[in-house]
Structure 1
């Protein structure tokens, strides 16, 4: 099946959303169960500092959280924080004090005043149109605003309504003056996230049973395996451990002189999707197929280009003395293996 299809369904009782592109599963969002969703806002209480790391453990209604780069914060103080990712078992929830109120078209930024339009929108007339909408809607609000790339070509009423919704949410959270630990705003679930983030034109399926009808369940079964085919007989194995995720690239049956670089370039193109669908973050080490050192730069270029379109923050760290390539990826999602049986 050609084209893009968004399927909103459930895995058992758990809300989930899938994005199929040309018949292949391209992205997957599954609700977090008991874990807090990314974007959840707490009124938290400072607990104890971590000497040498410049951080502070916090108390929240969902358990211990960890805040980095703390200055002037004393135990017992209350503060507003937002969940930025998922914690491994036994670790604290990662949070930040830089709150963002994010929707399909607008991001309200209380700590960063100013009106901005996504750099991805390059048409000057469109940028001027959007800035006019922003000025008219924001009025005298002291918050900052970013209009996302999805605003391009969107109706003025839709953009304005989105801004007003996020302004109202920001006002409700920031004007709350209670002092007890509390969840002030829940993060978005998979169906809302799909509407918010998958903005390219697509067919949307909402009827129950959509996952089975459109091949999502079969794709999930395939994701249980560590092996990812790279074509031409080559493959890579994506294997999470407690410390890091190891990616092993193999040339398979290809015995040509260019087998290594071909397999490695295929790995560069396929890796973002493989990590995204499995919910993998943290440290990632790639054990590449043998190739000359002169081919390292083309591999890095291909890898950087592949991750540029991925929505999970990923840092390309570089080469190790043993010739492995290292990445650091934000834990923006739960591991798929922890969500499905």
Structure 2
């Protein structure tokens, strides 16, 4: 099936959303029992973490950890936002730099200034968007970023979105009086789909949409270790306690270029596989045997794939053993744990 489809459904009693492009699942959001990224707390400072430059905080959902803060004392209230999912047994990662993010606008308390996404190149469009921003942003101390989804969107919708985010930010940003409390819940999968998947798409929100579009079969495949690539190649993706191990194999292909072909196919699909499986942290790729002169081509293909990925990932480099190391943000929970 050609085109983009957004399927909104429930899996194992949990809200879920899937983005399909030309019949292939490109992204997936699944509700969890843990605090979702974007959740905002009024947290209470407990104690500093020596040598880490941060503080432990008390929240209604348990202990949290915030980095790069100064001048805080135990018992003080602080408004913070969840940035990702914690590893088992660790504190919730939060930041004091709170953002109020919607489909068209991001309001930034304590970071004044009006900005338009660099992806919008048309100067007339940028000027028109800045005019809207100047008309709506009437609060001191708040900044605004207009997202790339504003391009071609209805101006009234953009203005309403900015006003809604500004009103929300005004109410929450200074709410530091009282005990630990959840001030705003993070967005669920259906709202995330509306917020992040902004390109034109068909929406299927009727019951059973995942089954109709084959998403359930894809979920079953994502629970498996092995991923088939072009030809006879494959890669095995195995999360361990310390890292995510990726092993690229040529299969029965014994041609001279088998290693290079397998590695290129693997790095092009790897960001999508990690995204759908909800895997982050340290990622180590054991590439198929190939000449050192091919590393630049493999690295270029990987960097291009990561640039298109919505999850922040850093290419660390090649190890002496010829492995590739990545550091990936943990903004999702592993799919295997979410569905059990």
TM-score normalized by the length of structure 2 = 0.98
Secondary structure of 1:107 counterpart: strand
Name the structure 1 match of 2:212: 213
Structure 2 portions without partners, runs of 5+: none
Confirm or deny that 1:195 pairs with 2:194. yes
In 2, the alpha carbon distance for the partners of 1:151 and 1:280 equals 30
Name the structure 2 match of 1:68: 67
Contact 2:43 2:79 in 1 (8 A): yes
Confirm or deny that 1:128 pairs with 2:138. no
Contact 2:234 2:262 in 1 (8 A): yes
In 1, the alpha carbon distance for the partners of 2:20 and 2:218 equals 10
Confirm or deny that 1:6 pairs with 2:17. no
Aligned pairs for 1:51-200 within 5 A = 51-200=50-199
In 1, the alpha carbon distance for the partners of 2:218 and 2:268 equals 19
Confirm or deny that 1:228 pairs with 2:227. yes
In 1, the alpha carbon distance for the partners of 2:276 and 2:218 equals 10
Secondary structure of 2:229 counterpart: strand
Name the structure 2 match of 1:25: 25
Structure 1 portions without partners, runs of 5+: none
Secondary structure of 1:87 counterpart: coil
Contact 1:8 1:205 in 2 (8 A): yes
Confirm or deny that 1:293 pairs with 2:307. no
Aligned residue pairs, count: 340
In 2, the alpha carbon distance for the partners of 1:139 and 1:291 equals 59
Which piece of structure 1 moves more, 87-96 or 69-78?
69-78
Runs ≥4 in structure 1, deviation > 3 angstroms? none
The two structures, once aligned, show a CA RMSD in angstroms of 0.9
TM-aligned CA deviation for residue 237 of structure 1: 0.5
Secondary structure of 1:231 counterpart: coil
In 2, the alpha carbon distance for the partners of 1:204 and 1:224 equals 26
TM-score normalized by the length of structure 1 = 0.98
TM-aligned CA deviation for residue 98 of structure 1: 0.4
Contact 1:99 1:111 in 2 (8 A): no
Secondary structure of 2:68 counterpart: coil
Secondary structure of 2:187 counterpart: coil
Aligned pairs for 1:294-333 within 5 A = 294-333=293-332
Q: C-alpha offsets along residues 106-156 of structure 1, whole Å, 9 cap, x if unaligned?
A: 000113210000000001111111111111111344300000000001111
Which piece of structure 1 moves more, 292-301 or 77-86?
292-301
TM-aligned CA deviation for residue 12 of structure 1: 2.9
Secondary structure of 1:164 counterpart: helix
Contact 1:113 1:145 in 2 (8 A): yes
In 2, the alpha carbon distance for the partners of 1:253 and 1:111 equals 58
In 2, the alpha carbon distance for the partners of 1:98 and 1:296 equals 38
In 2, the alpha carbon distance for the partners of 1:187 and 1:181 equals 17
